[in-house]
Chain A
Amino acid sequence: MLKFILKRLLIIVPMALLVVTVTWVLIRVAPGNFYSTERSLPPAIEENIKKKYGLDQPWYIQYGTMMGNILRLDFGDSLKYQGQSVNEIIARHFPYSAILGLLAYLLALGIGLFAGIVAALKQNSAFDYGSMAAAMLGLSVPNFVLGPLLVLLFSLYLYWLPPARWGGPLYLIMPVVTLAAIYAAYIARLTRAGMLEVMRSDYIRTARAKGLKESKVLLKHALRGGIIPVVSFTGPALASLLAGTVVVEKVFAIPGLGNIFIQSVLNRDEPLILGIVAFLSILIMVANLIVDISYGFLDPRIRYE
């Protein structure tokens, strides 16, 4: 088990480097750069700046330096935000996304699991049809529509909730709901399908034949097998939720990582882009590793070497 975890952690390094390399190539291949602003700089000044950031070197030297920096987890300074290191910027903005993402994740899990399990148990009941219709709706309404709709209703019409920005708990409600909706819908459907599948299996019949109560059959015998498909979905979901969802952060004007990432791309702020990309890819791989480890706890048939 320990060996498995170590191995997976080691793989993260080359994978992250690969992702960063691809990003770096894309930045270079795409037309334009940080200096291609409307008002062109005097050639002498541009020359100076380029020297300062090592941009006058041949590409392989630049690439080598960058890789070296990344291996030391030092992404240098932002080009746009003078005097701020990329690491500082990530550290400052990631917590917003993380809090938002974590809350949305928990909300989606809570609603999704509950609705999915009850729908499966009361198959073809009003609850089943109702929650699955809601899930269908949740899946088909994109969050850039849901967010503004919520704002329209709860802020501009009912005056119940603040429409945007970061503040107390009230400020969190709408962004979290907007973010969680689609995941809750997906988890509900996965849970329902997983539970229905398991409830038909032979070992559930065995459990009933033993005289167990239906609640015990469900919680002790069926739940584990039923939520395995959910686990494989929630790993990547957690990563992408933590990483901040660009759209929701934009709609609610939240200064999270997603918002900063968009800015960095628009600004062609190369160190910042690479830093965020590296950070996110590591985050996603760690989240996936956690999922794989939790599989091992859920399913004793899985053994890691």
Chain B
Amino acid sequence: MSENNGNLLTVNDLRTYFQTEDGVVKAVDGISFELKKGETLGIVGESGSGKSVSNLSVMRLIPEPPGKIVSGDILFDGIDVRRLSDEEVRNIRGKRIAMIFQDPMTSLNPFLKISTQLMEVTQIHLGHSREQAYDHALEMLRKVNIPAPEKRIDGYPHEFSGGMRQRVMIAMALSCEPELLIADEPTTALDVTIQAQILELIKGLRTELGTSVILITHDLGVVAGMTDKIIVMYAGKIFESAPTKELFAKPANPYTKGLLKSVPDPAHEHGEPLYQIPGLPPDVANLPPGCPFAERCDRAEEICEREFPPFVQINENHHSLCHFAKEVHASSGGE
């Protein structure tokens, strides 16, 4: 069966909406992407652009109500995730697809020992006995470089620092050697030095275990050295998708350019204040008919306010949602 063309994950025209008092929030509105075995995909975008919701949809973890996957296909290793029963989804969660969340301070259960929280994963998915699970948990803690794991394993989350908790989360996520690891802003809540350590750790384990990774962040700097390709999200849509190198070298979307400009540049540490895209992301419950980025865009023309932009193909792997994608692409690079 070559239905999935060697893709581990295929998402096609996914739409996830939330029913709220202000109307329908189109948190994810028609996104498509593919991930091959062993590949790392970066998803970037400002807060509220739908990064988390798209990935929670893949795991079928959208709280329903108010949320609902209204259309689209999610194929994981050829399995139609949307059609699985609850039990079948549970057998994938934590075993074949694991997730690390943004805030390690609140993502671990404060009432349960670290050992308990680690052990339950392999107990349900690998059928471990208590002893096996305990030993496995110890080994995982060792793998993520927790010092003196045999002493700390019976501690509670509040006895761990933020960085250590994120290591525990990673240990938990990788317990069953999942085929896909979704890391949702794994370093946003951490200090800069700790951030680098955690990213190195994910990188190392990814290579060691051959795991595919989706790395979500709003910092393009984070994904630069880690990903094979990147999708840029804005207002629930994909604004640009391209191989990492190409996206950095020749972006074809003004929004991506804005994000790139706002990456802190280590070479100019003490320069002017960091660039910020003017304005705020739009309210996804009430989008105007035109391009959702138009009013913040320095390239915008009259058509942008009026007509929704086309998803322009620049080359085989490079797409951009912009009326002027080709021009933007042509003008960028080499500056």
Residues of chain A at the chain B interface (Cβ within 8 Å): 200-203, 205-214, 216, 220-221, 224-225, 298-301
Assembly CA distance A209 to B125 (angstroms)? 12
Which residues on A sit within 8 Å (CB–CB) of B106? 201-203
CB atoms of B111 and A300 under 8 A apart: yes
Quick one: CB contact mask for B75-105 with A, threshold 8 Å, 1 for yes? 0000000000010001111110011010100
Residue of B nearest to A221 (CB): B109
Which residues in chain B, 100-143, are within 8 Å of chain A measured between CB atoms? 101, 103, 106-113, 120-121, 124-125
Assess whether B308 is interfacial by the CB under 8 Å rule: no
CB atoms of A203 and B99 under 8 A apart: no
Assess whether B172 is interfacial by the CB under 8 Å rule: yes
CB atoms of A300 and B110 under 8 A apart: yes
Residue of A nearest to B159 (CB): A300
Which residues on A sit within 8 Å (CB–CB) of B169? 206
Q: Contacts A202-B101, A206-B101, A300-B156 given: A211-B110 contact, CB under 8 Å?
A: no
- B155–chain A nearest beta-carbon distance, Å: 9
A-B contact pairs, 14 of them (CB 8 A): A203-B107, A206-B107, A206-B108, A209-B101, A210-B172, A211-B90, A212-B120, A220-B120, A221-B109, A221-B112, A299-B111, A300-B110, A300-B113, A301-B156
- A168–chain B nearest beta-carbon distance, Å: 43
Residue of B nearest to A206 (CB): B107
CB atoms of A208 and B93 under 8 A apart: yes
Q: Contacts A213-B90, A221-B112, A301-B156 given: A208-B61 contact, CB under 8 Å?
A: yes
- A74–chain B nearest beta-carbon distance, Å: 45
Which residues on B sit within 8 Å (CB–CB) of A212? 90, 94, 120, 124
Which residues on B sit within 8 Å (CB–CB) of A214? 86
Assembly CA distance A238 to B146 (angstroms)? 44
Q: Of the candidates A202, A213, A298, A300, which one forms a contact with B107 in the assembled complex, judged by CB atoms under 8 Å apart?
A: A202
Q: Of the candidates A209, A225, A300, which one forms a contact with B93 in the assembled complex, judged by CB atoms under 8 Å apart?
A: A209
Since A202-B101, A224-B111 are in contact, a sample of 15 more A-B pairs with Cβ atoms closer than 8 Å, ordered by chain A residue number, is A202-B107, A206-B169, A208-B93, A209-B59, A209-B93, A209-B101, A210-B172, A211-B90, A211-B121, A212-B120, A221-B111, A298-B111, A300-B111, A301-B110, A301-B156
CB atoms of B111 and A211 under 8 A apart: no
Residues of chain B at the chain A interface (Cβ within 8 Å): 59, 61, 63, 86, 90-95, 98-99, 101, 103, 106-113, 120-121, 124-125, 156, 158, 169, 172
Assembly CA distance A209 to B172 (angstroms)? 11
Q: Contacts A211-B124, A301-B156 given: A206-B93 contact, CB under 8 Å?
A: no
- A116–chain B nearest beta-carbon distance, Å: 18
Residue of A nearest to B125 (CB): A211
Assembly CA distance A202 to B156 (angstroms)? 16
Which residues on B sit within 8 Å (CB–CB) of A209? 59, 61, 93-94, 98-99, 101
Assembly CA distance A225 to B99 (angstroms)? 23
- A225–chain B nearest beta-carbon distance, Å: 6
- A262–chain B nearest beta-carbon distance, Å: 44
CB atoms of B156 and A211 under 8 A apart: no
CB atoms of B112 and A211 under 8 A apart: no
CB atoms of B94 and A210 under 8 A apart: yes
Residue of A nearest to B98 (CB): A209
CB atoms of B108 and A203 under 8 A apart: yes
Assembly CA distance A301 to B172 (angstroms)? 21
Most buried by B among A207, A211, A298: A211
Assembly CA distance A298 to B110 (angstroms)? 10
Residue of B nearest to A302 (CB): B158
Residue of A nearest to B172 (CB): A210
CB atoms of A211 and B101 under 8 A apart: no
- A218–chain B nearest beta-carbon distance, Å: 13
Assembly CA distance A224 to B63 (angstroms)? 21
Assembly CA distance A213 to B125 (angstroms)? 12
- A298–chain B nearest beta-carbon distance, Å: 7
- B179–chain A nearest beta-carbon distance, Å: 14
Assembly CA distance A156 to B63 (angstroms)? 52
Which residues on A sit within 8 Å (CB–CB) of B95? 211
Assembly CA distance A224 to B91 (angstroms)? 26
Residue of B nearest to A205 (CB): B61
Q: Of the candidates B92, B103, B108, which one forms a contact with A211 in the assembled complex, judged by CB atoms under 8 Å apart?
A: B92
Most buried by A among B93, B113, B125: B93
Residue of B nearest to A213 (CB): B90
CB atoms of B90 and A299 under 8 A apart: no
CB atoms of A300 and B108 under 8 A apart: no
Q: Of the candidates A210, A213, A221, A301, which one forms a contact with B121 in the assembled complex, judged by CB atoms under 8 Å apart?
A: A210
CB atoms of A299 and B101 under 8 A apart: no
- B159–chain A nearest beta-carbon distance, Å: 9
- A115–chain B nearest beta-carbon distance, Å: 22
Most buried by B among A202, A209, A225, A298: A209
Assembly CA distance A215 to B86 (angstroms)? 13
CB atoms of A300 and B121 under 8 A apart: no
- B67–chain A nearest beta-carbon distance, Å: 13
Q: Contacts A205-B61, A301-B156 given: A211-B94 contact, CB under 8 Å?
A: yes
Q: Contacts A202-B101, A202-B103, A205-B61 given: A211-B109 contact, CB under 8 Å?
A: no
Assembly CA distance A298 to B101 (angstroms)? 25
CB atoms of A203 and B158 under 8 A apart: no
Which residues on A sit within 8 Å (CB–CB) of B93? 208-211
CB atoms of B110 and A299 under 8 A apart: yes
Assembly CA distance A58 to B98 (angstroms)? 79
CB atoms of B107 and A225 under 8 A apart: no
Residue of B nearest to A228 (CB): B111
Assembly CA distance A300 to B109 (angstroms)? 11
- B255–chain A nearest beta-carbon distance, Å: 29
Which residues on A sit within 8 Å (CB–CB) of B108? 203, 206
